[in-house]
Amino acid sequence: MSRFSLGKWLLPVYVVLALIFILTPIAYTIVFSFNASVKTNIVWNGFTLNNWTTVCNAQGLCEAFGNSIVLGLTSTLFATVLGTLLALALGRYKFRGRGATSLLLFLPMATPEVVLGAGLAAQFLAVRVEKGFWTLVIAHTLFCLSFVVVTVKARVASLDPALEEAGRDLYGSPGQVFFRVTLPLLMPGIVAAALLSFALSFDDFIISRFNNGPFVTFPIWIYTAAARGIPAEANVIASAVFILAIVVVVAAQLTSAARAKRRGHTG
C-alpha cells in the first residue's frame, strides 16, 4: 500500500497552476481577436473573422506595428555588431580597464528602465536633439547592448582555441581564420543575442515612451488605445506575433533535430 506523498503531488500542481497563470492572458488575447466588438473589446459579442481580414482598419495600428519592426531590426543590427565586437574584446584580450568595462556593461541590465529612459531623455534634451526614430534607435541599442555582450561572451568562452590555431597552422590569414572558423562557431550565440535584442526592443514601452517624440511604436499605441478600450485588431497583431514566434521555435527545433539525426547516421 503506497503512502500519500505531498512532495510527489506538489510540484505537478505548481507547474500546472504556473502554466495556467502564464497562458491565460495569451489565450484571452487569441480568443478576443475573433470578438465581434464595437467600441470596446472587453465583453464577448460573438465570433467573427472580420478583425483578421481588416486588421489595419484601426487607425494607426499597422503603422505603429511597422514602426516597431523597423526600430527593432535597426537597433538589433547596431547592438549585435557592437556587442559581438565587445564580447570578443572582453573574452579574448587583456587590456587596462577591462574589469571596469565589464561592470559598466552590466549596469544597464541592473538599472530600472524608468531611470534609464529618463536619463537618456535628459541627455537628448541637454544636447537639443529632436526626439524621434533615431533617438529611439540610440536608446534601444544602448539598452540591448548589454544583453548581446553577455550572450555572445558566453559563447566566446566556450570556443576551443585549438580550432583557430589549426586554421593558422594551415596558413590562414587572421581574416580568413575569423570569417571561416571563429565567426561560424560564434554564430549560434550571435543569432540568439540578435533574437533576444529584437524581442526586447519590440516589447519595450518605458524607454520608448521617454524618447519617442512623434514616433509611435506598437507598445505605445497599445497604451494609448487602452484608455478607450483596446480594439480587437490589436489582439490580432499580438496573436499573429505569438503564433509566428511559436512556428519559428518549432521549425528551429525540428531543423536542429534533423541535423543531429543526420550527423548520427553519418557518424
pLDDT tens, position by position, 169-210: 777 788 888 888 888 889 989 999 999 999 999 999 999 999
Lowest-confidence range among 193-202, 235-244, 254-263?
A: 254-263
The residue with greater pLDDT, 7 or 119, is 119
Residue 154 located in a structural domain: yes
Per-residue pLDDT averaged across 103-111, rounded? 83
Residue 256 located in a structural domain: no
- Asked whether the predicted pLDDT for residue 266 surpasses 80, the reply is no
99 band by pLDDT with thresholds 50, 70 and 90: confident
Q: Domain span at residue 192?
A: 59-230
Residue 10: CB atoms within 10 A of its CB come to 10
- Asked whether the predicted pLDDT for residue 56 surpasses 80, the reply is yes
Residue 15 located in a structural domain: no
**3 state SS for 106-166:** HHHHHCCHHHHHHHHHHHHHHCCCCCCHHHHHHHHHHHHHHHHHHHHHHHHHHCCHHHHHH
- Asked whether the predicted pLDDT for residue 139 surpasses 80, the reply is yes
The residue with greater pLDDT, 114 or 97, is 114
- The answer to whether the CB of 182 falls within 8 A of the CB of 164 is yes
Alpha helices in 37-132 (DSSP H): 50-53, 61-92, 98-110, 113-126
Across all residues in the chain, what is the average pLDDT?
Answer: 87
Lowest-confidence range among 1-15, 83-97, 117-131, 246-260?
A: 1-15
- Asked whether the predicted pLDDT for residue 260 surpasses 80, the reply is no
Q: Rg of the Cα trace of the chain? A: 23
Q: What's residue 97's pLDDT?
A: 82
CATH code, domain carrying 212:
1.10.3720.10
Q: Report phi then psi at 45, rounded to 5.
A: -115, 0
User: What are the DSSP calls for 193-228, one per residue?
Assistant: HHHHHHHHHHH--HHHHHH-TT---HHHHHHHHHTT
Residue 63 located in a structural domain: yes
Residue 12 located in a structural domain: no
Return all residues near 5 (Cβ < 8 A) that are at least 6 apart.
Answer: none
- Asked whether the predicted pLDDT for residue 267 surpasses 60, the reply is no
The separation between CA 165 and the C-alpha centre of its own chain, rounded to angstroms, equals 34
Residue 103 located in a structural domain: yes
The three cell numbers locating residue 82: 557592437
Q: What's residue 265's pLDDT?
A: 65
**213-222 tens-digit pLDDT:** 899 999 999 9
Q: What's residue 110's pLDDT?
A: 84
The three cell numbers locating residue 243: 503564433
Global pTM value: 0.84
Q: What's residue 4's pLDDT?
A: 57
The residue with greater pLDDT, 101 or 138, is 138
Residue 193 located in a structural domain: yes
The residue with greater pLDDT, 197 or 107, is 197
What is the number of structural domains in the chain?
Answer: 1
54 band by pLDDT with thresholds 50, 70 and 90: confident
The three cell numbers locating residue 205: 514601452
Return all residues near 107 (Cβ < 8 A) that are at least 6 apart.
Answer: 146
* CA dihedral sign of residues 249, 251, 254, 258: negative
Q: Report phi then psi at 216, rounded to 5.
A: -105, 125
Residue 147 located in a structural domain: yes
Q: What's residue 199's pLDDT?
A: 92
The residue with greater pLDDT, 2 or 71, is 71
